[in-house]
Structure 1
Amino acid sequence: MPQNVVRREARHLYADAPSTAAAKGAVDALLRLQRAEETEVDRVRAAVGLSNNEFRAIRYLLQAQREGRDTGPKDLGTMLAISNASVTNVVDRLEQNGDLERLRHPDDRRAQLLRPTPAAAAKVEAGYRTFHETMVRVMDGLSPADATIVARVLNDVTDGIESGHAP
């Protein structure tokens, strides 16, 4: 029974219902997509034994690494919006699990740099692979006109959410 409540809650709107059946179908589809992504990432995160903060930490560190940025514990605390003590706990657990390595900063002996291990990268990749591969496959199957409409609509929704009001 609790799973049924969770599944139905994902379709509940905290706003007035859309005015047309077509708009309701589109909103339902977006909410279903959002829930599917959350469920898949949570499933993989739990399967690889990482807490939410540990999983997010590895994601942030991987992104920083891709961008060629050095990242230390203070940066990680800012990205995760957690205290220094919590950062220490997250970093310690990730290091003990072989998901992260601490390196000495080349210019500051007192500072540490944090690097995700290849094993950690594989865990995060597994968390998003199915979701991203499915998106690419489905979008590649659309006509250019339909893909343009999907992109416009999703960008309008995202812009409205990010700006704090409807487009």
Structure 2
Amino acid sequence: MPQNVVRREARHLYAVAPAVEAAKDAVDAILRLQSVGEREVDRVRAVSGLNNNEFRAIRYLLQAQRESRDTGPKDLVAMLGISNASVTNIVDRLENLGYLQRAPHPSDRRAQLLRPTPDAAQKIENGYRTFHETVVDVIGRLSPSDAACVARALNDVSDRIEPGNL
């Protein structure tokens, strides 16, 4: 398949195009950013050597760590939507790769906490660095009113699409 078709595949997903050309351009820009973001996730995941669920688990554990939330295998079962046995396999593999550590739960002897290692955090953060720095730089150059407009529009779209809001 020609590369230009692949690059444009995510655009024009609407059944009826927006009536105003500027709105069409904005929709195309959102869809393009979404596509770039998805490719970036795929790239970082491939570089990390992890499968999709392993990668999602590490990202979830890193976010929980940033938010000072304790997480265990049951949290991964809920987040990934997979069985306890599958989570056990993922945790074993991530531990063997040096991406996470198990720690005893402070108040429940039967439970364990999962924590990403500094090495895992560095690999994932380094993988996303260019994408995140670019987004921060570009949005940071907008005027406060333009940045507020972008935030409002993107949040409105997200709010209307998120489960429970449809």
TM-score of the superposed pair, with normalisation by structure 2: 0.90
Greater Cα shift, 112-121 or 60-69: 60-69
Shift of 1:4: 4.5
CA distance, structure 1, for counterparts of residue 96 and residue 52 of structure 2? 17
Question: Quick check: 1:100–1:114 contact (8 Å CA) kept in 2?
Answer: yes
Deviation digits for residues 74-108 of structure 1, max 9, x if unmatched? Answer: 11111111111110111111011110111122222
Q: State how 1:75-90 maps to structure 2 within 5 Å.
A: 75-90=75-90
CA distance, structure 1, for counterparts of residue 100 and residue 63 of structure 2? 14
1:133 aligns with 133
CA distance, structure 2, for counterparts of residue 93 and residue 4 of structure 1? 38
Shift of 1:67: 2.2
CA distance, structure 1, for counterparts of residue 113 and residue 2 of structure 2? 43
Question: Quick check: 2:11–2:28 contact (8 Å CA) kept in 1?
Answer: yes
2:71 aligns with 71
Aligned-residue sequence identity (percent) comes to 74
Structure 1 gaps of 5+ residues are none
Shift of 1:58: 0.9
Question: Quick check: 1:55–1:124 contact (8 Å CA) kept in 2?
Answer: no
CA distance, structure 2, for counterparts of residue 108 and residue 15 of structure 1? 53
Identify if the C-alpha distance between structure 1 residues 7 and 100 changes in structure 2 by more than 3 Å, giving closer, same or farther.
same
Shift of 1:122: 1.2
Does residue 35 of the first structure (1) align with residue 46 of the second (2)?
A: no
The 3-state SS of whatever aligns with 1:27 is helix
TM-score of the superposed pair, with normalisation by structure 1: 0.90
Q: Following superposition, which runs of at least 4 residues in structure 1 exceed 3 angstroms of deviation?
A: 2-6
Aligned residues: 164
Shift of 1:49: 0.4
1:114 aligns with 114
CA distance, structure 1, for counterparts of residue 156 and residue 110 of structure 2? 46
Deviation digits for residues 131-155 of structure 1, max 9, x if unmatched? Answer: 2111111111111221121112111
Identify if the C-alpha distance between structure 1 residues 3 and 112 changes in structure 2 by more than 3 Å, giving closer, same or farther.
farther
CA distance, structure 1, for counterparts of residue 118 and residue 96 of structure 2? 15
Question: Quick check: 2:102–2:112 contact (8 Å CA) kept in 1?
Answer: yes
